[in-house]
Structure 1
Amino acid sequence: MGRAPHCGKGSHGGAQEIPAAVTVGLLLLGFSWGNSFRLGFNPEDRPTLWIEAESLAHPWDNVTLRCSTLGDDKAQLHKDGVALHLNPVKPPGSEPGFALGKVTEATRGLYRCRYYVLDYWSQFSNPVELTGREILPPPTLSADPGPWLIPGLTTKLVCHGPLKEVAFVLRKVEDPKFMRKYVPTSFIGTFYILHPGSYSCSYETSSSGLRSEPSQTVIIEELDFFPAPRLQKQSNQVILTPGTLVSLLCTADLSDVKFILLREGRTIQMTSMLYKSPESISSTVFIQEGGRYTCRYTLRGKPSIWSRDSNPVEMLVSDEALSKPTVSLVSEDLNLTLGSDLVLRCQGPVAGATFVLLKETAKRPLKVMSSAGHGVDFRIPDIGVHVSGNYSCLYLETRNGPSGSGLSEPLELRVEGPSCGPV
């Protein structure tokens, strides 16, 4: 067992051919539902809730909330997160409606709805606020497909209000004179965006001149590519053996996209996802060789525009066929001073290998270093109680290959004193 000195106050804290070495199976999130679903129903769908006012001049005098459903499905209304025991009325050719009458102190609040299909509830609808005030509640503003201006992509801002037959107005924070008006037949106003900036929208009734509060601000920026997705390895196994099954989760803040998974820049799988937000896909990969994995996506219908690559996830693979290395504390008799480095040496019989330092409790390798010789020295800064634990190392013939050693015999380090930082 090696010992290091105590730590005191002075310490510092495009698709290509799929390689035969890799087999990929895809678990498509959102498609594992049974065949009992009605055609056209997707459990990620959400209904639309809106206000039907008897008079736009006096919108709060007699209010009905209508919830879009699939056919004759059961609808349920929630107020401030609590389900209401109200039976909806469904006139022929119309959506289920919840008659609330005049907005009073008892009926003011935030409403959502959902509907029930064959033992499943849909997602909750957009929120609708009943205030009873002269200033109407704000609409919501969203960017389709996202808040970016990218060459070859059409960007829209969608203003969604709770009332039909109103005029939507789009404004730009940086330009007080900028104003666009849109009068739809529904409760959605769509604006095509050509320039970056900070936008908000509102709506107004033409008959009475009532106006809403402004929506939240949406910032549109210019980009060359879609933003990068996020890639995660859903496994705590640090060193893999060839043939290990690993799930990689790729997530993008877009819907209706196509993902590809890459190893060392080469495509190993491509698939599409239609639902979920944020969009994500889990790729189950049989790892045969090490390497850096990334993913990217494109919008369906826009195959020429791709995202930037995700963060890389490195896979280290060893078949444990080579002789084990040794790990030791360098210059054990050296009188190290507080805040100095601790040096661990890993040595093996193969020259020009890649060496990996591991700690028993760590979820990832502490350090990975290549060497032209038979070993490397790993430096751990700011020694203290945080370095206590069991250390081991191994080596790989090549960083991206399957050939490597098993783990060395562990070296236990135990340091007493205050903690100086994590390892």
Structure 2
Amino acid sequence: MDLTVTFFISTGLCLHWAVKAQMDTVPRPTLCAVSSSVVRKGADVTLRCQGHLGSDRFQLWKDGELRDERNASWKKAEFLLRNVDEWRDARSYSCRSGQGPWWSEFSEALALVVTGALPKPSISASHSSVILPGTTVTIRCQISPQAPSQDYSFALLDAMSLEPFQRQSPPGTQANFSFLSVRPEDAGSYSCIYHRKTAPHRGSHLSETLELIVPGLLPKPTLWAKPSLVVAPGANVTLQCSRPKLSSLKDVTFTLWKAGTQMPLQQQTSVDLWTSFLLPSVRPEDTGCYSCTYRERTMLTRRSKNSDALELVVPDALPKPSISALPGPEVASGANVTLLCWGPSWTTRIVLYKEGHENILQSMAIDQDGAQFFLTRVTSKDSGNYSCGYQLLINGSLRTQHSDPLQLNVTGSEPSNTLIITLSCVSFLLCLLLLAMLCQGSIPMGSLQGESLRRGLCCPCLSWSTCLPHHPEVPIEETLYTEVAKKRTREPLVPMAEDPQGITYAQLNRRTLNERKTDHTKTPPEPTIFSSLTRD
């Protein structure tokens, strides 16, 4: 094969795999219809393409063809379809997101169903409208005998929002939607439709509305605080209560409760899924556990469970945390120590301090067992007073206190100091031994090379006067010991004398060692110097 052809084929393959690899790195987006993929004829619908971090371009495709493209900086793009038509808009849609020069794979296809083109079906339930919790209920959706015989799909919808709850594609002319064990939250208004499986997805009119009533407590809401659970006196706090989306509830009444009180604190009626309760200028007596509930406005008997309790803290001063040590405050050098810190139940993060240190030693999140700070292979430097505190982002000015100090004592010798002392002693003894050998003539003087070597061997161990004795009036002459060896026969250089007290005296004659061509009459006699060595 020609080299040029081979080159272009190889380049094409490389580009293909490079593009494919890059597409794999751009996450696949999702496509949804707001608020439902089932739309009445003539209404408007928004198709939302949700990308991921870094996505800045989006494309909307209809039946495999590009319909629209736009830039977006918030990881999503919305495409508005106005006055939808059962032929033009009841199609299959998908989208993809771009990041730089690369595009992701297509999202899963979304079938947009436009109702009003076919006769409505009938709807019925296997039980009466009032159903006990735990009962199995079947809702049946059946095509009218006048409807043309085609391949259809069925959908059970929320009668108000048209949001599909279940979908089926049975072979016959009816679909059975089952609730194996109904709950109070399954109560609501239902309807159903059928539509063509293939594009255009023309749908029927909505069936009649079917009401299901399931007595009992509704699902619990969620309660949270803004800006924080711990606030200074005089600050404002907002408690927000949100409920799950239920088809049977149109508007509800939210209620705020405080533990220890019989009457509700506040009530709000809302058609939204959440509401806000304002607590202005809170005081320390507002500290306590709060919860919220909701109920259907027209049916007082249908109420929800209580939300999880929320503890609000409004203290004059924040309480101190506590600290302890394992295995104890008295430990041996080289051991491991664990410092345990506990704070109030609303504490999120604990910090460790040491007296004499300005900065925080360690910081970590707290769990049900508190915070554990590990000190490994402690030494005497780790001894001292330790304390812990907690960090909070609060609304207002409030004092954050430290725990009572814990004194940690590290006892015993430290391995590093022991090694240093041992080496120092050995070095000192070696210096003494080497000096004794030099003084007794065990080491030939000819092997020494000048004053620098004598200083290196002796002076680190003994004083300067012991190593290099001299008279203050007479300059020390730099005489090499090798010169003495050349002019004299080998003889003991140092006469020995024994002292009854076990001290050996070494007498050095500098005139003998400094024998040179000098005028001795001009040089005063030099003194005799004694150096004492202790003999074992």
TM over 0.5: no
Calculate the TM-score normalised by the size of structure 2: 0.35
Structure with greater strand percent:
1
The higher-RCO structure (CA 8 Å, 6+ apart) is: 1
Structure with greater helix percent:
2
